[in-house]
Amino acid sequence: MRPMHVQHIRYEAGVLFLLDQRQLPQTVTVRELRDWRSVGQAIENMVVRGAPAIGITAAYGMALAARAYAWQPDFLVRMMHTAAGLVKTRPTAVNLAWAVNRMMDRIRRGIAAHESPESIVTAVEQTAAAIHADDVSACRRIGDLGAPLLAEQSSVMTLCNTGSLATGGYGTALGIVRSAWRDGRLRQVFVCETRPLLQGARLTAWELAQDGIPYVLITDSTAGDLMRRGEVQAVVAGADRIARNGDVANKIGTYGLSVLARAHELPFIIAAPTSTFDLQQASGAEIPLEQRAASEVTEFHGVAVAPEHAVAANPSFDVTPAAHIAAIVTERGILRPPFDDAIAALLREPEALR
Ligand code: MRU
């Protein structure tokens, strides 16, 4: 089973099938979800995670709700309630609100045009499927555009999981890795394990192993020493939300890696689809950063790794300032500093930057 082809999110006639990422790599379990509340719980509990994958899942959650409510007189109100319930499950990944808003737009259009409940449900399911398919195409494009940014025979460092599992398929930063490997540009990938939930160790290593891409798993604290030894040529990372000025919210640890990359004069590259940009936020200071339970730090898989009652902080994301970023690779083109003008131009005139 090659992850590029794993359908970790699959929707079929009123049932959403999700590969449970909490149990990887030991166990491959698929959950079957039939109502939007279970979809919300699956996002919150990280059965599925990664900004684009969360957006796609929420879109299917909206489709399940539409199936349940389209015949009710208060359909629109129920859908607005559903949308609000889904959006709050993970506050940092803006792809979630982006996908849910797109679904709401389609529902409002259907209601305004007096479409039948049946045709609204069909249209809503098609919209979710389109969000899913578009993300796969966007990732492939990001990979192909970004790969040439890496020098020949690069050893690249990454963190968290930005691969097939975090997207509709192929991945963003890991899409660049995949395309670079296919093109013969890549030597190996240093995968930061990514405490506390180990998305790097459990998920990225799993994907790379199945694609036969050479990787070395490292503890997060090994990153600086490898850079000092000259063993890393670039860092590639994903994004959960990108502000108007190019500040990037991403997995906790991204900021630290960006500081290390800067100290060692290495390119720090962000890869994200345009659905990750939030033009309503002027800078990273405005991005809501999710705080997760302290137990994720004090325990692993239910086993205590700290004394009882240990006080722990568990911010899930941090903000990397635009000044640390060499390039942001999107499906519509590569952005270079100064990012504020480049982002405005990209989202206004996509063709101009290709
Ligand atoms: O908490 P997670 O696992 O959802 O965090 C994921 C990340 O930070 C990813 O880098 C980001 O969502 C981009 S995934 C293409």
Tell me: cis bond preceding 117? Omega within 30 of 0 counts.
no
Out of 178, 248, 250, 257, give the residue to mutate to test ligand 1, the one with the largest number of ligand atoms within 8 Å of its CB: 250
Mean pLDDT of 322-336: 98
Task: Report how far apart, in Å, the C-alpha atoms of 49 and of each of 92, 110, 242, 249, 303 are.
Answer: 12, 30, 18, 15, 22
pLDDT mean across residues, the chain: 96
Confidence band, pLDDT 50/70/90 cuts, at residue 195: very high
**Host H or E run for residue 300:** strand 299-300
- Indicate which residue of 240, 247, 278, 318 is catalytic: 240
Query: What was the pLDDT predicted at 246?
Result: 98
Give me 283's structure tokens.
């800078």
**For 201, which DSSP code?**
I
Ligand 1 contact via 49 beta carbon (within 6 Å): yes
In angstroms, the CA 183 to CA 175 distance is: 12
Ligand 1 contact via 207 beta carbon (within 6 Å): no
Of 25, 34, 32, which is closest to residue 9 (Cα–Cα)?
32
pTM for the structure as a whole: 0.96
Ligand 1 contact via 194 beta carbon (within 6 Å): no
Other C-beta atoms closer than 10 Å to the C-beta of 187 total 16
Query: What was the pLDDT predicted at 264?
Result: 98
**Host H or E run for residue 215:** strand 215-218
**Position in ligand 1 atom list of the atom nearest CA 251:** 8
User: Distance from the CA of 51 to the center of ligand 1, in angstroms?
Assistant: 5
Ligand 1 contact via 254 beta carbon (within 6 Å): no
Ligand 1 contact via 94 beta carbon (within 6 Å): no
**Position in ligand 1 atom list of the atom nearest CA 163:** 15
β-partners of residue 191 are: 158, 217
User: Distance from the CA of 113 to the center of ligand 1, in angstroms?
Assistant: 38
User: Distance from the CA of 273 to the center of ligand 1, in angstroms?
Assistant: 13
Mean pLDDT of 284-299: 97
Residue nearest to atom 10 of ligand 1 (CA): 238
Ligand 1 contact via 249 beta carbon (within 6 Å): no
Mean pLDDT of 318-333: 98
Query: What was the pLDDT predicted at 256?
Result: 98
Give me 347's structure tokens.
């989202």
> What are residue 296's phi and psi, to 5 degrees?
-65, -25
> What are residue 270's phi and psi, to 5 degrees?
-105, 140
What is the tens place of the pLDDT at every residue in 27-65?
999 999 999 999 999 999 999 999 999 999 999 999 999
User: Distance from the CA of 265 to the center of ligand 1, in angstroms?
Assistant: 25
Query: What was the pLDDT predicted at 354?
Result: 37
Alpha helices in the chain (DSSP H): 36-44, 51-69, 75-87, 94-112, 117-146, 173-182, 199, 205-211, 223-228, 254-263, 295-298, 339-348
> What are residue 15's phi and psi, to 5 degrees?
-130, 130
With contact defined as beta carbons under 8 Å apart, do 162 and 253 qualify? no
Confidence band, pLDDT 50/70/90 cuts, at residue 181: very high
Out of 8, 18, 46, 49, give the residue to mutate to test ligand 1, the one with the largest number of ligand atoms within 8 Å of its CB: 49
Residue 240 annotated among the catalytic residues of the structure? yes
Query: What was the pLDDT predicted at 349?
Result: 64
Query: What was the pLDDT predicted at 7?
Result: 87
User: Distance from the CA of 341 to the center of ligand 1, in angstroms?
Assistant: 26
Q: Does residue 232 sit in helix, strand or coil?
A: coil
